[in-house]
Structure 1
């Protein structure tokens, strides 16, 4: 149906209407430009403005406020060479976006690393700091109140903030809102003409004026009216005006009701279900799952909806810059409440839940496919991938990564909505697991950590709601690991203790052992050697009881480390020797060599240089047998240091030369250390 609208009559193709064209608002644009240069209160008092200037565009949804902001930003972009950055502060359904989430999106666009699990204040401070020294534009769209906007305003007068809201943002000083009404009659008729063509307007200009007036000059209503007319070349403007007058409500609501009722029942049902899409963003796969139709049919229907002004094709944005279309459409925010009202009235709850479940299941399968394509050829994951329908397969890892990157906000929103629903906990857990694996596979654990933190918290919410102790323990361990990695050791310690309790309730030996070892690691990080050694000992006792030899060797090493820190060299040496014996039984030659090296370090600290020399020579020999060149070079340097202290500089020079031959200039930058030892 590329040249035939959903309504069934031939109409103007979407290609004939430029959705990026801007109509009218020249007076408002001029006033906003003048406001940039307006003398502020700080300048009047002789002080330099401490923060960015804020321009505010206020108006009802559907008044074209976001389009005006976009036009202003595009016109000013050349004056701000460090880029244009955007954040939406209200979700399509009307829920405010938490400041922390908006800050995370801005930091990602700015290319600034963010600590996973950081508090809202810290993230907002990072955003403000990232704009220091930049001459940039920041567009904050659809703000609810000043409390949302104020934390994100940069402390940099060279940056300009353009805010969009329903009304004034009381609480932000020195801001005069540019309040929007309807378009002027000339611009309103131009917008209609873009959909209907000039003939119908020319033959009945009075009817065009009446229609524009009936639409209140609201761009959203005019677009819907234009789309309806474009699908019906035989309909007159006067006929549409009469139909609109027969309805009650605001102009956008009346125009939407008319368009919705004119759609065939299957298309109207698909349209209503688009309100279920996370963030109002939908592509052919999402529409296909919601409607229960093929992907190609869904793609055609979305294109038809775009021709009617019911959805807008989006452009990929990377680093604040607009890109090419990526196959996604956006349901205009002002239509989402109207669609949801129709959905509640016309569709049975069971059908709505089934559509949600299909959408989530399709998302899970796409995520699994995006991860599987990163696996080697012939792997089990690639074999499973080959069995999927062609529409669900990605041709290569680069395509899958691009899909994941462009859909990342939508995928995260889907996970949040699935958990909040409460009816899809099993499906929500599968979705989160698939999303975690896909993000880790394509972006790496470190780069994906901020997103993973939020996902693990969602898992924790489901586990606590359902009493799933094993999943609760796993989520707490993952969150605690991220806390520990960002220096929040006390927070990590509390979570590790909670994970231990959950692991015991689940009778999960892996979780309890891991939690005990991590509690010990937290105390070690805090410098409490006594408690660290105690918890490592508890973890070791469990590993000994279960005969988990690799874990035993590691824990002996961790005990050796904390005893070394505490100055208990005898205990430290015994534990490092036990670790070495464990690695040797496992035939882990590099581990054996490292354990011997740490034992030599303890002997050196204990004032036994001759024993240290012999142990270090043995470690060098085992590193050579293991074929670990870097380890061997590091041990040669350790040996050289020991010989210097024993008064044999000639032998020390020989060992340093041997290390240089092994690694060249890199040898001097490498030093062996245990996981927890510092000189």
Structure 2
């Protein structure tokens, strides 16, 4: 998942002082001023400048990018602030460009069309940045092609990319390559946790400890955290413990039969990306040992329940982790999980997220934790932990939906019976939680569907998340998220052979596409819904079948193919008549009539509108009957059957008067004006014109406007 932050966010926990990297910061600043190849060649730069920070996880590359971006924003050269996105997920796969672009657009406050693909959203992002001066920090870039899709055209913006190595496909980029810190800064970083006294007492041990950490910031932070948690230990104690291999024996245990070599190999592969990777055997964080040994030092100091919780955090959705997720994974109280997360952050195992109470798992620890999870946790326990997490998420989503219901309702009574930790006291609190946890909730849904073994829970999660989003934002406000959820429903329903759910999901996707004016794509969705509704095991679902047929007709109407539209409406009409659906019969007669009018088939259109009027009469809906007769009168006028049009319009007018529809009365008087003028009856035209003004004064409406259809 992309992790996007807006520059106006003010509740980020205060970050510790940034140490070192002065030379790298100076190089990045000078690189902004450096003339690019296009400038040297006398051509204007076609896109914004891209600066690249390259280094292994654990070298502090993300922290340097964030520090540099903050300095640029503070200098005032980029008044539109800093945007941040992560381009690789914890499994090592590239985050889809559509997700990244949509997150950046949301941070900019720009609307995004639901269902838009990566190319469309990339273009929208470039348009949004065309008039802005912003800094884009694109962290953990997976490939040069992925980065190119997100680079703005505006030369006023700046991209700071973070990757493992050089991105050869991006022109005019000179990487700022990171290794370890300088020794003085490394010792200062250790002193942050150990305190100046312990470092001053044994400066040689402090320097040796920094050397043992290879001066890697991530390893130094872990050791500093361990020293801070053990005030009785000396720096020499930390050095001695650091040299021991705490992780190797755990990986060798292999709860599921995997040996240490396979576990480490899998961990290294999980951390691998194609961006100029020199190979796992050269990884300074894993194979060479400093980061692995520092992690082992801290992991070995944790109580068994805390160590287990830390390992299980790899099962959480990509993005942030909160106390509820941690509590569900470990099966412990929320307060205990909250305290454990705070302890992990103090030890350097987690980083505080911008949102209060949420944390980020650093990428450099993911591979080790995944390897430990495979060897230390039984597969059944892993499945159970994931199921508990999904079940807790479903209950929270149901609580978020229930708080929107009226007081005294069944949903509110259910909400009051929940434990206090799961409840939301106000609608605003639930909405805030839904917004803050939105990316993680969508990620949880994607993981649940991808798992394949928890489809029942996945279906409940998709349903609960859909209802909660609609309850708080409405269908239009949550359209982008709903589109993704319906696509996930398609996957589960296809896998489980659930034709009704599959058809409903395709219909919902088609409706969203239609509202976004992607009618050709909507037509494909509606046809897929029709195929699902016709499933031989579910012939009883005629309502879904009828909706699919009618929706196909609607799509052809929007695609300006009235003949096919009328044909599909006719199929839906036959089904509605066989079901005795009088409302559907009346509506579909009208849709057929409107389609045939567009195709200038006057006689067939007239029959359809008269049939619609008869159906509305049987329904007892006088106003709708008057509308249908008014449409029939308009068709007669189009067909040059003016006297018949006058009689039919008169019948419609009498019904409109009885129904009290003054707007329709005015429209019918205007129609009669046209007819009277065609017949050369000027006095009648004047009378109807005056009656129209009286019926709806001061607005003077045309018939199509009053009836709500296009001529």
Counterpart in the other structure of 1:396: 426
Superposition deviation, residue 470 in structure 1: 1.8
Task: Find the residue that maps to 1:178 and give its secondary structure.
Answer: strand
State whether residues 692 and 700 of structure 2, in contact with CA within 8 Å, keep that contact through their aligned partners in structure 1.
Answer: no
Which piece of structure 1 moves more, 206-215 or 527-536?
Answer: 527-536
1:526 aligns with 2:526: no
State whether residues 640 and 656 of structure 1, in contact with CA within 8 Å, keep that contact through their aligned partners in structure 2.
Answer: no
Summarize the Cα distance change of 1:669–1:249 in structure 2 as closer, same or farther, 3 Å threshold.
Answer: farther
Summarize the Cα distance change of 1:407–1:637 in structure 2 as closer, same or farther, 3 Å threshold.
Answer: farther
Summarize the Cα distance change of 1:621–1:86 in structure 2 as closer, same or farther, 3 Å threshold.
Answer: farther
Counterpart in the other structure of 1:7: none
Which piece of structure 1 moves more, 425-434 or 520-529?
Answer: 520-529
What are the superposed Cα offsets for residues 87-138 of structure 1, whole Å, 9 maximum, x if unpaired?
Answer: 1101123222122221221222223333322222222222222211211111
Superposition deviation, residue 281 in structure 1: 1.7
How many residues in Structure 1 have an aligned counterpart in Structure 2? 650
1:264 aligns with 2:303: yes
Superposition deviation, residue 613 in structure 1: 4.7
- Give the Cα separation in 1 of the matches to 2:693 and 2:465: 50
- Give the Cα separation in 2 of the matches to 1:377 and 1:636: 49
Counterpart in the other structure of 1:30: 26
Residue 345 of structure 1, aligned match among 357, 375, 379:
375
Counterpart in the other structure of 1:68: 64
List alignment gaps of at least 5 residues for structure 2: 1-12, 246-286
Superposition deviation, residue 598 in structure 1: 2.2
Task: Find the residue that maps to 1:49 and give its secondary structure.
Answer: coil
Counterpart in the other structure of 2:255: none
Summarize the Cα distance change of 1:627–1:362 in structure 2 as closer, same or farther, 3 Å threshold.
Answer: farther
Give matches, 1:314-333, under 5 Å: 314-316=353-355, 325=356, 327-333=357-363
State whether residues 643 and 651 of structure 1, in contact with CA within 8 Å, keep that contact through their aligned partners in structure 2.
Answer: no
Superposition deviation, residue 297 in structure 1: 1.6
TM-score between the two structures when normalised by the length of structure 2: 0.87
1:367 aligns with 2:401: no
Counterpart in the other structure of 2:10: none
Residue 156 of structure 2, aligned match among 155, 158, 168:
158
Task: Find the residue that maps to 1:90 and give its secondary structure.
Answer: coil
Task: Find the residue that maps to 1:672 and give its secondary structure.
Answer: helix
- Give the Cα separation in 1 of the matches to 2:512 and 2:366: 36
List alignment gaps of at least 5 residues for structure 1: 1-16, 317-324
Residue 705 of structure 2, aligned match among 666, 671, 676:
671
What are the superposed Cα offsets for residues 564-622 of structure 1, whole Å, 9 maximum, x if unpaired?
Answer: 11222222222222223323333444433432332232233223445445544555565
Counterpart in the other structure of 2:116: 118
Superposition deviation, residue 672 in structure 1: 2.8
Residue 601 of structure 2, aligned match among 553, 564, 568:
568
Counterpart in the other structure of 1:439: 469
What are the superposed Cα offsets for residues 360-384 of structure 1, whole Å, 9 maximum, x if unpaired?
Answer: 1111111111122222333333333
- Give the Cα separation in 2 of the matches to 1:617 and 1:315: 68
Summarize the Cα distance change of 1:625–1:241 in structure 2 as closer, same or farther, 3 Å threshold.
Answer: farther
- Give the Cα separation in 2 of the matches to 1:110 and 1:666: 43
TM-score between the two structures when normalised by the length of structure 1: 0.90
Residue 79 of structure 2, aligned match among 68, 81, 97:
81
- Give the Cα separation in 2 of the matches to 1:526 and 1:652: 37
Counterpart in the other structure of 2:8: none
Summarize the Cα distance change of 1:138–1:565 in structure 2 as closer, same or farther, 3 Å threshold.
Answer: same
Residue 220 of structure 2, aligned match among 204, 219, 222:
222
What are the superposed Cα offsets for residues 224-256 of structure 1, whole Å, 9 maximum, x if unpaired?
Answer: 111111111000111111111233842111111
State whether residues 644 and 652 of structure 1, in contact with CA within 8 Å, keep that contact through their aligned partners in structure 2.
Answer: no
1:253 aligns with 2:292: yes
Summarize the Cα distance change of 1:645–1:35 in structure 2 as closer, same or farther, 3 Å threshold.
Answer: farther
Counterpart in the other structure of 1:284: 323
Superposition deviation, residue 328 in structure 1: 1.2
Summarize the Cα distance change of 1:191–1:586 in structure 2 as closer, same or farther, 3 Å threshold.
Answer: farther
Summarize the Cα distance change of 1:640–1:156 in structure 2 as closer, same or farther, 3 Å threshold.
Answer: farther
- Give the Cα separation in 2 of the matches to 1:29 and 1:37: 13
Give matches, 1:186-205, under 5 Å: 186-205=184-203
State whether residues 590 and 623 of structure 1, in contact with CA within 8 Å, keep that contact through their aligned partners in structure 2.
Answer: yes
Residue 21 of structure 1, aligned match among 17, 24, 37:
17
- Give the Cα separation in 2 of the matches to 1:631 and 1:501: 40
1:658 aligns with 2:697: no
Summarize the Cα distance change of 1:310–1:609 in structure 2 as closer, same or farther, 3 Å threshold.
Answer: same
1:46 aligns with 2:80: no
State whether residues 280 and 336 of structure 1, in contact with CA within 8 Å, keep that contact through their aligned partners in structure 2.
Answer: no
RMSD: 2.4
- Give the Cα separation in 1 of the matches to 2:383 and 2:132: 47
- Give the Cα separation in 2 of the matches to 1:86 and 1:246: 38
Task: Find the residue that maps to 1:87 and give its secondary structure.
Answer: strand
Residue 412 of structure 1, aligned match among 422, 432, 442:
442
Give matches, 1:129-140, under 5 Å: 129-140=127-138
State whether residues 53 and 178 of structure 2, in contact with CA within 8 Å, keep that contact through their aligned partners in structure 1.
Answer: yes
- Give the Cα separation in 2 of the matches to 1:220 and 1:413: 26
State whether residues 92 and 334 of structure 1, in contact with CA within 8 Å, keep that contact through their aligned partners in structure 2.
Answer: no
Task: Find the residue that maps to 2:85 and give its secondary structure.
Answer: strand
Task: Find the residue that maps to 1:279 and give its secondary structure.
Answer: coil
State whether residues 55 and 164 of structure 2, in contact with CA within 8 Å, keep that contact through their aligned partners in structure 1.
Answer: yes
